[in-house]
Amino acid sequence: MQNVNALFRLDGKLALIAGAASGIGRAAACGLAQAGAIALCADVDEQGAERTAAEIRREHGAAEAFALDITDEAMVERAVQGIRAKHSRIDALVCTPAVNVRKPLLDYSADEFDRVVRLNLKGTFLIARAVARVMRDMKSGSIVMVSSIRSVTTEPGQGVYAATKAGLVQLARTFAAELGPAGVRVNCIAPGVVETPLTQPIKIRPEWYNAYANKNALGRWATADEMAGPIVFLASEASGYMTGAVLFVDGGWTAIDGRFQPPV
């Protein structure tokens, strides 16, 4: 009989986490390390990545840290080739960096549009492409991209961000289709409202913060740590027959109307 508990373990696996300095990236790095992976913590904030790696070494296991700007194609290629030369493999990639410029589309500048698309969509593509080439040669591996509830539902001020998160879903599906024959899986998680540095401008406005909390079935925001379990699941063999999928981790946001509690 198969040992189900063992399916969630990542002992001896090498996991690269982009955006590991804070938020969901930090939580993912710690969660993967707790599951036994060697965590490679990468971030444009090198000191933040090192803090995450130091925490992992102190509490969970093995970790390394280095600076990485996923929008810099040459830097991404150097980093991935360096990992390949040192470790000979990359078993899992989790890519979390994102930015949002909240304003109506009619007020968006071309530079702001490029900034959001460049990081959220192009940056994810660049690192996924580089790592996928390693995994293709290995004939195994799991890539986890971070989409959002905004891939299927939006609101004023979220247009470009939502477009990138929807684009990530199709990017992941296409990677999944192309890499499936090589044994490489590619999936997305789609978080709801999560308390991270990206959402700090909402938290400081109680009416906005509470409205979002009351929109979902659980009536609260998620912590970044609550994203770690789904990410470990998608990185591990527990999800071995999942690829091209979107796992919503949204407290029921996309399942319910949420605007009114009818007297039933």
- Asked about 161 being catalytic, the answer comes back as yes
Residue 142 in contact with residue 234, Cβ under 8 Å?
yes
Residue tagged active-site, from 108, 161, 212, 241: 161
Amino acid at the residue 212: Y
Catalytic residues: 161
